[in-house]
Structure formats: C-alpha cells, structure tokens
C-alpha cells in the first residue's frame, strides 16, 4: 500500500498552518483595527479662551480642510491684544461669521505666547460658547471626549427643566451624554450645563 502521509504532505500541512496563523495575526490584530477605527485622542489643555473682535489672514475661510493653517492668521482680541497664529499650526475653524465682531471665540492650547493648537467657534447667547458634553472633572478642569480640558467654575449650574440634581456627578450619570456644556467668555470657565431635548427622569 502506498504511504499517504509522507513527509512532503506533512510539510505542506505545516506550511499552510503557519500561513494561516500569520494571516490571522495581520488581519485580526485588535490593536491595529482599533487604531484605524478609533484614532488616538490628543489632549488639549485650553489655556486661552477669548472672544474675537476681528480676524485677518484667514481669507474668509470658515474651515481648515487639512486641519492646519497655510498662512499667518491674526486675531484681534481687544484694543491692546492681537493673537498671532503661525503657518503650519494645527486647529479648526467652525465659525461662519469671522467678518463680524464678537460672533466668534478662540480656544487655544498655548506654549508661552505661541499657539500650539486652536479652535475658532461660534458664540452663543450672552457671550457664551456651547460645547459637547463633559465626561469627567479632573484637577480643576472639565474633560471632554475630544481631549479638551477647560477650567470650570467652583459651582457648575445644572439646568434640566426643574429636575432635582443634587450633585454634578449625578448630572453626569443621568444626563451627561446628551447634555450641552456652557463656557462663559467673561470668566473663561465652564459655568453651566444643560440637559438635551430629551430629559430622562
């Protein structure tokens, strides 16, 4: 009788097994897949929060398609202060009224007087800016899912249509994911939070 399981057959089976393991390691690498699906969140320590009087150098752009400035941008903050943003600075612009005084505000991560990263956002009512929900409070700063860390007031007011919310931790647990965060441009702090449209009692 001819020998079926000769050494060549066994070697071929082993080789196929090794290839299968390699393919699985490459295609089912959980860390690699997570890195593609969920890119690393960069922490942004927001050191400067200011309303903007006027903008020069943005050429009317209301967004940064590449996420980085291609030319110098100067933000007039008041009669005595101008914030210069160098070319090649990472940031985002989401305010559509850059040409109107006090309709936008800048949030910046600073290194001394240099802007490391910035966001230009639209102002809301009563000199405020509305942000996404807070996910935590840490060392005097409100922490956001996008990596921003912004100072908060000693007491963060909670507005949930008359709901009794004894602590901010209780607010986060019950209403956090759908809430709105309010930053006051005078105090440069998170001063209040508001429940979303759907209030879960």
Give the gyration radius of the chain's Cα atoms.
26
Spatial CB neighbours of 27, under 8 Å, sequence gap ≥ 6: none
On whether both 137 and 96 belong to a single domain, the answer is no
For residues 118 and 106, is the Cβ–Cβ distance under 8 A? yes
Q: Which of 122, 138, 165 is the last residue of a domain?
A: 122
14 found inside a domain: yes
What is the total residue count of the chain?
201
**Nearest-angstrom CA–CA distance, 71 and 129:** 26
**Nearest-angstrom CA–CA distance, 61 and 91:** 13
49 found inside a domain: yes
**pTM (two decimals):** 0.77
Question: How do residues 25-38 score in pLDDT, each as one tens digit?
Answer: 545 455 544 445 56
Q: Which of 122, 144, 159 is the last residue of a domain?
A: 122
134 found inside a domain: yes
Task: Indicate if the pLDDT at residue 5 is higher than 60.
Answer: no
**Nearest-angstrom CA–CA distance, 193 and 132:** 10
Question: How do residues 10-57 score in pLDDT, each as one tens digit?
Answer: 455 555 565 655 556 545 455 544 445 566 889 999 999 999 999 998
For residue 28, give its domain range: 7-37
**Nearest-angstrom CA–CA distance, 103 and 51:** 8
Average the pLDDT over 90-104 and give the result.
94
Tally of structural domains, the chain: 3
On whether both 95 and 149 belong to a single domain, the answer is no
């Amino acid at each position: 009788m001819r020998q079926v399981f000769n050494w060549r057959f066994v070697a071929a089976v082993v080789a196929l097994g090794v290839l299968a393991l390699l393919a699985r390691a490459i295609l089912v690498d959980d860390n690699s897949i997570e890195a593609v699906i969920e890119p690393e969140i960069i922490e942004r320590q927001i050191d400067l929060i200011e309303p903007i009087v006027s903008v020069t150098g943005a050429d009317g752009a209301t967004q940064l398609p590449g996420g980085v400035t291609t030319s110098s941008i100067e933000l007039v903050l008041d009669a005595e202060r101008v914030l210069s943003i160098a070319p090649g600075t990472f940031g985002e612009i989401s305010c559509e009224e850059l040409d109107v005084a006090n309709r936008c505000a800048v949030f910046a991560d600073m290194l001394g007087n240099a802007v490391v990263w910035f966001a230009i956002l639209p102002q809301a009512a009563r000199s405020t800016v509305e942000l996404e929900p807070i996910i935590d409070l840490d060392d005097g700063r409100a922490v956001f899912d996008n990596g921003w860390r912004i100072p908060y007031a000693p007491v963060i007011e909670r507005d949930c249509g008359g709901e009794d919310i004894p602590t901010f931790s209780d607010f986060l647990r019950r209403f956090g994911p759908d809430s709105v965060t309010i930053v006051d441009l005078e105090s440069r702090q998170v001063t209040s939070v508001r429940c979303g449209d759907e209030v879960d009692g």
